Amino acid sequence: MKKTIIKSKLLLIFAATIVAMNAVSCSDYLTDDPADKFTNENFWQSEDNVKTFSWVNYDTFYGYGNGTGIGLSSFYFHGSDSKVDDNLAAYVFYQMPVTPIATNTTSWNEYYTLIRRCNLMLEKIPTVPMPEAKKNHYIGVAKFFRAYTYFRLVQKMGDVPYIDKYLSQNDPEVYSLAMKRADIIDKAIAELEEATKLLLDTGDKNTTVNKYTAYAALSNVCIYEGTYRKYHLGQDGSAYLNKAKTASLAIMNNTSYKLNTDWKSLYNSVELAGNSEVILAKRYLTNVLMHSLQNYTNTSTIQYGLTKWAAESYVTTNGLPIQQAGNTQFTGDDNVTKTFANRDPRLGKTVNPANYGYKGKSFSAAALTSMSGYVFELYNNPATTGPDVTTGGRNYTDAPIFTLSEVYLNYAEACAELGTATNTDLDISINKVRVRAGIAPLTTDGSNAFTGGVQIDDPRRTATLEQISGAVNPLIWEVRRERQIEFMSWTTLRQMDIYRWKKGDYLDTSKNLDVNLGARIGTPVGTQVIVDGNGYIKIYPTSTRTFEAKHYLMNIPTNDIDLYKAQGVELKQNPGW
């Protein structure tokens, strides 16, 4: 937090203006005064300046990353901030951290920097001459970002200092005691509810925050908190689950939002601005802001690969799990043709359904291979070619940040967790997602799940792995499965789902053996890949990952604990660290 607090007001304004100009070509929105004459006293003079200042806030959403770096991405990649999930196996093995880190530049410094920016906005916007509706809108923008940033901070850190006003560098309140996570969540929810009343309904298509972005964020916060309290604290989370339903319905009832015909188009489109399924998009523009995700999945010889655990989560088109007794649509996985036969079409859109590629056996003339044999293709866009695909930092497909499909599944999950789900609830939410995907819809009696009149009975739901923290009922299980598949390779979202459900055991290679296995290839070509006794690729033959209770939260940076201590304030470390 030290780096955040000691920045001068003048540098803060300069950084906001210059970065916004470089990142979004916003010179049209600046005043005629040169940037080097802006100060905190003379900057806040017009709506255009407020808009320019607010644009830098959007950098908090990493999307597919910025430039050639791949670590700071919400999709596909592991690494930064202990980001590991059960769907993907990285090209190098990532262990859960053992010792606390001294400095956290992303989930601590950057978050508090953004919070401070929002506090400054909330102090200054009331003084700016602009129409009342616009003034309220930008107050809502600041409240949205402050609330959602505190939510993400709590997700990762638990109890943290809460500061809701712009402080001078020497103000003693800079070193506040940590507030209980539950209290911060309640403040975030109240602020997002307020933002839904302040923000305009539309504006800048879906590339900036509006009323429905706030509802989407509110839906996410409430589904997270309702399930976190249930599974981690043993508390009644129904008040939050009901809020999640209400927030979701506000979007579901807006006929402007509709699912795309093609699921894959969410992840491989050059342009998501104005897309009816995308509530907020991160926009990439040629020679302005680009990424490297397409480059990685088209030219890397060792890609991230889908795990056996993830691949076997895909049902057959009749809606039944592949492990369910009597499911004749599943023909086995002796070869690639059988593996993909009659399966949820999203599997064949995520990875290539015609061939495997692994060390010693390239997938194509491009010599593509993956750690697990499953070669990723979700982000490939056939309309982009040449250096725009194959050069790092040259990709410009847009990234989704909030989507209608997530809102649908938040609603379905809230109903399932509350025990109130009806067939109508499923039809207006999860079944829209399933029908779009090409699999049979669900029905329910409130706790069980059925498809095509057949009761779903997935052996994995009651397996030893699930019993560690407790098995859930069949309907909740199917909703969770749908989230896993619908958001496959949305790494940050998947990890937070695992954490709120208290299913960190999914990441532990000694408890979930399938997270360290890949495709079933039988006898491998060459000697670079090792398989188990059943012919499945052993992704990391000698590496193991242990998940401990402490990993549900990251450690408070030790440098900040020392900094607070020097000011006479105790900033407590998280349990286990």
Please report the pLDDT score of residue 38 as a whole number.
Answer: 61
The C-alpha atoms of residue 273 and residue 290 are separated, in whole angstroms, by: 15
Name the nearest CA neighbour of 413 among 240, 245, 246.
245
Confidence label for 31 from pLDDT (cuts 50, 70 and 90): very low
Q: Reply yes or no on whether the pLDDT at 68 is more than 90.
A: no
8 A C-beta contact, residue 321 and residue 460: yes
Other CB atoms within 10 Å distance of the CB of residue 168: 9
Give the C-alpha distances (Å, rounded to integers) separating 486 from 58, 286, 313, 430, 520: 24, 28, 11, 10, 23
pTM of the model as a whole: 0.93
The arithmetic mean of pLDDT across residues 128-138, rounded, is 97
Please report the pLDDT score of residue 265 as a whole number.
Answer: 97
Instruction: Please tell me what DSSP assigns to residue 101.
Output: -
Q: Reply yes or no on whether the pLDDT at 29 is more than 50.
A: no
Beta strands in 50-128 (DSSP E): 88-89
Confidence label for 347 from pLDDT (cuts 50, 70 and 90): very high
Instruction: Determine the 3-state secondary structure of 457 from DSSP.
Output: coil
Backbone angles phi, psi at 568, to 5 degrees: 80, 20
Instruction: Please tell me what DSSP assigns to residue 351.
Output: B
- The per-residue pLDDT of the chain, averaged, comes to 92
User: Which residue type sits at 150?
Assistant: Y
Confidence label for 298 from pLDDT (cuts 50, 70 and 90): confident
Backbone angles phi, psi at 280, to 5 degrees: -145, 130
Please report the pLDDT score of residue 171 as a whole number.
Answer: 92
Confidence label for 181 from pLDDT (cuts 50, 70 and 90): very high
Q: Reply yes or no on whether the pLDDT at 117 is more than 70.
A: yes
Q: How many residues does the chain have?
A: 577
The C-alpha atoms of residue 574 and residue 97 are separated, in whole angstroms, by: 14
CA 159 to chain centre: 21
Domains plus CATH for the chain?
201-283+398-487 (1.25.40.10)
Instruction: Determine the 3-state secondary structure of 70 from DSSP.
Output: coil
Report the percentage of the chain scoring pLDDT > 70.
Answer: 93
Please report the pLDDT score of residue 37 as a whole number.
Answer: 52
**Assigned token pair, 261:** 């015909």
Q: Reply yes or no on whether the pLDDT at 32 is more than 60.
A: no
Backbone angles phi, psi at 561, to 5 degrees: -60, -45
The C-alpha atoms of residue 141 and residue 341 are separated, in whole angstroms, by: 47
Torsion angle defined by CA atoms of residues 415, 399, 502 and 243, in that order, rounded to the nearest 10 degrees: -30
